[in-house]
Structure 1
Amino acid sequence: MPSGKMVKFILYEVLQFAALIVPIFVIMERFALLIHRLKKLDLTVYWLVVAVSIAYVTSVTLLVWAPLKYVILKQRRFITEVTQWRPTALAYLILSTLPCFAVLIASSKVQVDMGCKLDHFVELPVSLVLFSLICVDIIERIRPCNLTGKSDSLNPDFDMPGPVLTHLEQVTTVSAQLHPNESQNSLTQGRPETRNGRTSRRWEDFAGSPSSRAYLYSSSSRSWSYSGPFSFLWWKDERSEVVLDSFLFWLDTAEMLRITGETSIFYSGWVFPVYILCFLSTLRIIITPQNPLLSFAGFFLQDLPFFIIRVALIAVFGNVTPVFYPLKNVLVSLTFIYFTFLTKLRIFNRRRMF
């Protein structure tokens, strides 16, 4: 009977491979059907396009995907040294997402040239491409964790739920740093008063208490606990939060892809920059989740270009997207510029004394 690690490995690999090939087959089938309806010929053209998709998937699987997985499984040196980016995500973008977006753009161009508007790929194909991308991201992030039992909070891909002790150091008291005479005088002046011939032990308790040690915690949020009848509402697991974070991470890109479903945009020249910017925003999946470069990439690959293209689309086509999204883009861009660059200037670096 296979072990749990083997079952998890097979499950992850099957899901990733399905996310690689399913969007290609679905979009190519829709494209083949579109060509068949435009040309009004027999099914030869339809099956020819389907055969091309099968040949493409077979080629990239044998020549790129399988060798890459083998190298990662064997943990070759040039793969194990990769810590700031994810090779599997890069291969998925090049082999699946890029061809799918190219076919979608070609579908728009073919229909415009033929003077027909039959299919603008509004729902299933576009949603399936992004959903598969999110699944690959989730699998890559949750792969080091167990599927059963408690999660491993020490995994670097997860945000630790509470303060974690990272350094323990004995702090030298003030009295130890003073000269003996000065220390004795200071302690005499600082001791609590004697009541009924008995000195309060609060000073000694404080000197020997754990608060005399310095605990340097990480910058994570405080861990909350509750032991009442509704304690199950306080349960927290990082593995489930990875799924939520992944979908929220791609929410802006999903809205931008939804805009391409508008007929006026899909059959115009604006479909080219929209899909190109959407693909550039997906390049963020290559960077590891805890990499500081992720915020820089989010600004230059998503928020800034998305704000420009959204303002242009609203000016040309009207309210094709909610105003909430360009406001989000401009707010994130301004805060990134301010806290990253402007706060280093002398005029913004003055400390206020309270």
Structure 2
Amino acid sequence: MASGRLIKLLVFELLEFAAFCVPTLVIMEQFADTYQSTRGTPDKTHYWLIVSCSIAYVALVTLLIWVPVKVLLYRKRHLYQKIIGWRPVLTMCVFLTTLPSFSFSIAVTEVQKNINGSADTLPDMLPDLPVSLVLTCLIVVDIIEKLRIYPLRGRQKSNEDRHIHTTNLQQVKTVTDEVRRNEETPTPPQPAKRTQLSRPPGATTGSFAPELEGPQEPTFEWGILRTLSQRDVRAEVFLRTFLLWADTIEMVRVAGHPNVYKSGWVYPVYIFSFISLLRMTLTPRNPLLNSLSILLQDLPFIFVRLSLIIALGTITPVLGLCKNILVTLSYVYFNYLAKFRIFSAFERSF
């Protein structure tokens, strides 16, 4: 009987392979159907030619790129360990699946424009299935790559729970050492202060970090509240992954608006949406991920969304524009401006 590890491996590989192949085949079939309908002839030679080319493309990249890379990743573990900071599987999906899918999504509207001679003959709304299928497949691959390091059975605590447990142990040890030190060298009692400067472990004598106070987090040890407070890092992977992709999903959906895909605005929307996907090729804990998210997503989206609002009205949510502006400004301020002397003084809200 197959082990759980083997079943997990087979399921993950089948899902990733389906996510790699299906979007290209579906969008190419849509392009073939659109091209055939614009010709107005019962002969489907062009339709089957385009479909055959899509199948040949998928088979070619599978045999020459996908399968060899997968074999190397599992048979040559020392090569896999030398890959630092980026994810090969998601990189293949972005460049070999998403890029041609976006290209042929634009080609569908361009074919209709060229055949009919006007953008007024285009449908009122583009079908949502192709775009949603492409992004859903990318999200599935992203989730699978993050879940590989976790078992699918048993209980798995989140990293925050481990951090809290470790921090509590360190605090208990610190308090115990302080009590022993006070017993050995008694000192007169000092008035308690609400905020005090504490030195983190390993810091130099002159570097002090302010210890912030805030609302205490509740803990539930019994009853229905204990059941509702359960947390598992594997479930949080799904939540955080969809939140990470939300901005790109919203931007791509804007391309389905008639005022966008019937005009030249469809090109910058798709181009910058694809550029924002490049950050997903990095590992989730890559130190460059935050800065590249600003450079590849939030900063370009500010100009795209602002231009769309000025030219076409609020076809893209103003909330998305505010999110991009606030994320960009906060990143620049807290990472770079806060280091200058004028911004370096520590302040508390209360």
TM-score by length of 1: 0.82
Q: 1:139 aligns with which of 138, 141, 144?
A: 144
* 8 Å contact from structure 1 (residues 20, 96) kept in 2: yes
* 8 Å contact from structure 1 (residues 280, 301) kept in 2: yes
Structure 1 stretches lacking a partner, 5+ long: 191-213
Letter in structure 1 aligned against 2:343: F
- Give yes or no for the alignment of 1:21 onto 2:16: no
Q: Provide the C-alpha distance between the structure 2 equivalents of 1:61 and 1:176, rounded to a whole number of angstroms.
A: 66
Residues 181-206 of structure 1 show CA distances to partners (whole Å, capped at 9, x for unaligned) of xx5xx46x77xxxxxxxxxxxxxxxx
Q: Does 133-142 or 160-169 show the bigger shift?
A: 160-169
Large movers: runs of 4+ above 4 Å: 158-162, 166-178
* 8 Å contact from structure 2 (residues 122, 262) kept in 1: no
Structure 1 residue 313: Cα displacement: 0.5
What is the RMSD computed on CA atoms of the aligned residues? Answer: 2.8
Q: Does 221-230 or 96-105 show the bigger shift?
A: 221-230
- Corresponding residue SS for 1:109: helix
Structure 1 residue 351: Cα displacement: 3.7
* 8 Å contact from structure 1 (residues 161, 223) kept in 2: no
- Give yes or no for the alignment of 1:148 onto 2:143: no
Q: Provide the C-alpha distance between the structure 1 equivalents of 2:343 and 2:23, rounded to a whole number of angstroms.
A: 49
Q: Does 169-178 or 20-29 show the bigger shift?
A: 169-178
* 8 Å contact from structure 1 (residues 256, 278) kept in 2: yes
Identity of aligned residues (%): 41
- The aligned residue for residue 316 of structure 1 is 311
Structure 1 residue 229: Cα displacement: 3.8
Q: Provide the C-alpha distance between the structure 2 equivalents of 1:309 and 1:267, rounded to a whole number of angstroms.
A: 17
- Corresponding residue SS for 1:127: helix
Residues 322-351 of structure 1 show CA distances to partners (whole Å, capped at 9, x for unaligned) of 211101111111101111111011211124
Q: Does 278-287 or 10-19 show the bigger shift?
A: 278-287
Q: How does 1:246-261 map to 2 (within 5 A)?
A: 246-261=241-256
Q: Provide the C-alpha distance between the structure 2 equivalents of 1:23 and 1:175, rounded to a whole number of angstroms.
A: 65
Structure 1 residue 37: Cα displacement: 0.7
Structure 1 residue 46: Cα displacement: 0.6
Q: Does 166-175 or 142-151 show the bigger shift?
A: 166-175
- Give yes or no for the alignment of 1:124 onto 2:129: yes
Q: Provide the C-alpha distance between the structure 1 equivalents of 2:180 and 2:154, rounded to a whole number of angstroms.
A: 49
- The aligned residue for residue 195 of structure 2 is none
- Give yes or no for the alignment of 1:339 onto 2:334: yes
Rate the CA distance shift 1:177–1:239 in 2: closer, same or farther, 3 A: closer
- The aligned residue for residue 105 of structure 1 is 106
Residues 152-192 of structure 1 show CA distances to partners (whole Å, capped at 9, x for unaligned) of 64xxxx555651427867786598699x9xx5xx46x77xx
- The aligned residue for residue 61 of structure 1 is 62
Query: Which has the higher Rg, Structure 1 or Structure 2?
Result: 1
Structure 2 stretches lacking a partner, 5+ long: 190-199, 203-215
Rate the CA distance shift 1:324–1:351 in 2: closer, same or farther, 3 A: closer
Letter in structure 2 aligned against 1:259: V
* 8 Å contact from structure 2 (residues 32, 51) kept in 1: yes
* 8 Å contact from structure 2 (residues 72, 79) kept in 1: no
Q: Provide the C-alpha distance between the structure 1 equivalents of 2:218 and 2:106, rounded to a whole number of angstroms.
A: 48
* 8 Å contact from structure 1 (residues 163, 223) kept in 2: no
TM-score by length of 2: 0.83
Structure 1 residue 266: Cα displacement: 0.6
Q: Does 100-109 or 29-38 show the bigger shift?
A: 100-109
Letter in structure 2 aligned against 1:263: P
* 8 Å contact from structure 1 (residues 109, 267) kept in 2: no
* 8 Å contact from structure 2 (residues 101, 134) kept in 1: yes
Letter in structure 2 aligned against 1:25: L
Q: 1:296 aligns with which of 262, 267, 291?
A: 291
Structure 1 residue 285: Cα displacement: 1.1
- Give yes or no for the alignment of 1:49 onto 2:50: yes
